Structure 1
């Protein structure tokens, strides 16, 4: 096999098996010592993400060029080894090789992933020394990402402002940087100013709102995408939006999205189907969720767990355990999240013995150490069954420090069982961990009042006043014709004369009439 022919085969190589055959022929004929050919074989192995084979070839290259070093950096990044990638970049510099734009982008990516700001600044200085700033937006984009990942969003903004050439990735990098720094308002400003958007930028803004606890804003962005008509939703975007629908119970919009992906033949892989299941479960439509569940030919762990948890939180604990039994029979291995769903099912259905059994099984049979979530389910299960002392004992034996959720669960069960001593203990523990939790102050105040312990009740009121604790208003959401409306207690935002305000006024009138009627009946 001639060297030129070998180069041609490498250029047309389509899979790993072909590459191994070419490599074997090169070894047989002694062509692997040729630098250019070895570099191409190495680069092709990195393209197929085969690190061991690539390392072996790289070690045989006598004088690797900048392209090969850059491929080695990329290989370390692809295998999630940013520190090794930085080490390779340092070796490149020590050998006197001049870095190009691709190698510094790899180094900046490694600095971002490892949160190594010091090395990132050094690479930034190297970029100016080698005059790589004007090599297109790719370097600037990497700088924005590196500074953003290290929490230096103002520096990233400066880099953005100084860039003469910007593309859609530049704007998306800055927007994503603000999202990483929990500044959704600035991210939205960047998003609105973008001269053009692609699926990555739309998805980043939507998922940013979802992860930032603003699902309503995420759904607004999705509706804007559909109305603009310039881009089409991707599977990743659909999953993010369905997650937002699930968080606020927007069933109508979730059903519209389900219909959309079905009509447009969007790839309904297991990830999208899992997201649909999750949305239907959290919206209370278990029949729809179970239909999708049955349609999944190859169920993964998330599929099983979602369906188990769906039945669990809606009180169908026995059905949830039946699905868990089917999962075990299918040969799928439950993980920690699955056992959270199983224990939650036992808790909601009051299945104390089953809960104890599975809590022990996850440790003895599946060698899974209980985490805070598993203890929380058990404390809730025992508390719901009125076993306050056993619940308290379990907390004392926990292998991890109990958090506010654990103590809050004990507080609720103690109040329900009128166990004042344990309730006071739980309440004080919560206030030590979360001193600004307004609900705990109110619960303890009510409990002291019910027990006629007025001095303690007064102390609790004074403590709230001294700490400037105010009860947060209740919040509710309702979906009308695909639009999610949010209401706060004592909120005066609806404008007079609007349909929403008219409905609220009518409801208030009916409630006043009903209350006056009850009042008259009571004192007749």
Structure 2
């Protein structure tokens, strides 16, 4: 068997049995382990198939490892999540006098990044410059990635600007770094400078806007991506579905679902979970259930998404029943699962069930309640009129109550006529958020309804002194697949004249019927 033919056959091995047969044949022919290139191919083959012990054994049998085989060993250490050993190999290379190439230093930079040792990465950078490897694009990309992940965005930018040649990976790595360290504005500026945009760069920007709670812009970017002819990946679609879920854009979500179906890829659990989340939050609970029921494998997030969907639609008992099925199936819930169930109990007034879930969370699953879980319990108890129990829970929870919790208690106290507790909750909100206009207004109304005119006057004076104005409300609407965002007194929309003309016509119609808006 010719050596070159043996090397090509390594790549054609479909399983480890075939690879071992080829390995044995190369040994009998005397090709292995003298041929280091072939040895590296066999090593990488074992590593790709998950047989790391065989891969290490192959390396140990190489007589005099060269830089290519050492590169394979460093990659193997990284694949096995052993960055410390990868660095040790790299140091041995430097100490032995072997000249590391670009692939070796890239592996070393990746290992230093995983070890979160910026100083180590900087020392490798120094060696790269001394050896003249800094002109290689792949090395520059690794440096950008290493610096940006450790917060050294200035160093990353210096590397980026000094590169002789940049490829798509260079721009995407820098884009990721800007997004992490400087935010969306800087990342968008860099994105607009890109000579060409690939799927990765579009995906970075779309998911970045979703994470920064700007779903409308994320959807606009996705439309622009399609217009420019870039093909989305499954990761892109997951980001778009998250944006659709945030604004309830059902038509855009269906379109994204259609894109996913056209991709030449397996619909995985992550995408199915995103579809369940999108359909349930967009009002199509039936489709969400169909996707859920059709999934052969369901992870914790799958169950949580469906439970949350029932909770959002007010189907409290279905949420609780699904939670029980989840436990029976052997899937352990996490803190988000418990939060979804508690929200369902709160909205459905299921006090007994809520208490059981809250107790099960701590005793059986060792999940420590966070402020959001306590907030759900306070809301649940407050809605049921159990104000004293809600107040005691706040006092005994071992952490400071946030404004959301005090608002729940304030609202419940007003509904059930507990003026004293409502006043306490209102003052707590003002202490934590002195510029919250809502708490001032509620307390002002409370004092006025109780004929405590002096307190009402003081509250009004405090509001004037702080020049508090009610925060403008905003909303979204989807028309023909486009999501439009509106603010109170918004004059910036492209169809502003037509919108206000229709609103005036609606107002005139109501006024003729004796209704004042």
Q: Aligning the two structures, in what range does the TM-score lie when normalised by the shorter sequence?
A: 0.7 to 0.9
CA contact (8 A) 1:113 1:149 kept: no
Match of 1:207 in 2: 207
Aligned to 2:218: 218
Deviation at 1:77, TM superposition (A): 3.6
Question: What residue number does 2:484 align with?
Answer: 485
Q: Is the Cα contact below 8 Å between 1:407 and 1:427 reproduced in 2?
A: yes
Alpha carbons of 1:93 and 1:387: their partners in 2 closer, same or farther (altered >3 Å)? farther
How far has the Cα of 1:501 moved from its partner?
3.2
Query: Offset at 1:492?
Result: 2.4
Q: Are 1:147 and 2:147 an aligned pair?
A: yes
Change (3 A) 1:3 1:203: closer
Residue deviations 1:255-302, cap 9 Å, x none? Answer: 233344446676433332221211111112212222222332333332
Structure 1 pair 250–8 and aligned structure 2 pair: CA distance change class (3 A):
closer
Which runs of no fewer than 5 residues in structure 1 stay unpaired?
Answer: 520-524
Q: Hey, what does 1:411 align to over in structure 2?
A: 410
Q: Who is 2:275 aligned against?
A: 276
- Please name the residue that 1:325 is paired with: 324
Aligned counterparts, 1:225-244, within 5 A: 225-228=225-228, 230-244=229-243
> Could you report, residue by residue, the CA deviation over 1:374-400 in whole angstroms, capped at 9, with x for unpaired residues?
323222211221212212222333255
Shift of 1:28: 11
Report the equivalent of 1:290: 289
C-alpha distance in 1 between matches for 2:100 and 2:466 = 57
1:354 Cα deviation after fit: 1.0
Structure 1 residues 377, 6: CA separation in 2 closer, same or farther (over 3 Å shift)? same
Is 25-34 or 332-341 further displaced after alignment? 25-34
Matched residue SS, 1:210 = helix
Change in 2 beyond 3 A, CA 1:81/1:341: farther
Pair 1:181 & 2:173 matched: no
Taking a change above 3 Å as real, the CA distance of residues 291 and 9 of structure 1, as seen in their structure-2 partners, is closer
Deviation string, structure 1 residues 141-176 (Cα, Å, up to 9, x no partner): 122222222333333233222212111111212222
Q: SS of 2:172's equivalent?
A: helix
Counterpart for residue 389 of structure 2: 390
Which residue pairs with 1:473 in the alignment?
472
TM-score normalised over the length of structure 2: 0.86
Residues 447/232 of structure 1: CA separation in 2 closer, same or farther (3 Å cut): same
Per the alignment, do residues 192 and 277 of structure 1 end up closer, same or farther by CA in structure 2, a change over 3 Å counting?
same
SS of the counterpart of 1:293? helix
Higher alpha-carbon deviation: 219-228 or 23-32: 23-32
TM-score normalized by the length of structure 1: 0.85
Question: How far apart are the structure 2 equivalents of 1:456 and 1:75?
Answer: 72
Aligned-residue offset at 1:47: 3.2
Is the Cα–Cα contact under 8 Å of residues 40 and 72 in structure 2 kept in the other structure? no
SS at match of 1:97: coil
CA distance in 2, matches of 1:164, 1:439: 57
Partner SS, residue 324 of structure 1: helix
Output the CA distance in 1 between the equivalents of 2:241 and 2:149. 27
Please give the per-residue CA displacement for 1:488-509, whole angstroms capped at 9, x wherever unaligned.
1122224687432322332343
Q: Which residue of 1 aligns with 2:133?
A: 132
CA distance in 2, matches of 1:417, 1:90: 71
Q: Quick check: 2:71–2:103 contact (8 Å CA) kept in 1?
A: yes
> What do residues 84-138 of structure 1 show as CA deviations (whole Å, max 9, x unaligned)?
5445434443444332211222233344445433222222221110100222x11
What's the offset of the Cα at 1:329? Answer: 4.0
Q: 1:26 to 1:444 in 2, by over 3 A?
A: farther
Is the contact between residue 46 and residue 72 of structure 1 (CA under 8 Å) also seen in structure 2?
no
Query: Which residue of structure 1 lines up, in the alignment, with residue 190 of structure 2?
Result: 190
Distance 1:99 1:478, change over 3 A: same
What corresponds to 2:334 in structure 1?
335
**Cα distance in 2 between the residues matched to 1:429 and 1:103:** 59
Distance 2:417 2:84 in 1: 57
Alpha-carbon distance in structure 2 between the residues aligned to 1:30 and 1:397? 75
Question: Mind listing any 5+ residue stretches in structure 2 that lack a counterpart?
Answer: none
Alignment of 1:240-251 (within 5 A): 240-251=239-250
Find the aligned partners of 1:430 and 1:399 in 2 and give their Cα distance: 19
Distance 2:173 2:202 in 1: 12
Q: Contact 1:239/1:271 (CA < 8 Å) preserved in 2?
A: yes
SS in 1 for 2:476: strand
1:335-374 equivalent positions in 2, closer than 5 A: 335-374=334-373
Task: Give the Cα separation in 2 of the matches to 1:212 and 1:54.
Answer: 43
- Give the 3 Å change call, closer, same or farther, for CA 268–498 of structure 1 in structure 2: farther
Match of 2:161 in 1: 161
Structure-2 change in CA distance of 1:354 and 1:9 (3 Å): same
Q: Distance in 2 between matches of 1:511 and 1:327?
A: 50
Please report the RMSD computed on the Cα atoms of aligned residues, expressed in angstroms: 3.6
Single out whichever of 17-26 and 241-250 deviates more from structure 2.
17-26
Distance 1:195 1:334 in 2: 46
Three-state SS of the structure 1 residue aligned to 2:475 is: strand
**CA offset at residue 453 of structure 1?**
4.3
Judged with a 3 Å threshold, the aligned counterparts in structure 2 of structure 1 residues 7 and 425 are, in CA distance, closer, same or farther, namely: same
Contact map agreement 1:242 1:279 (CA 8 A) in 2: yes
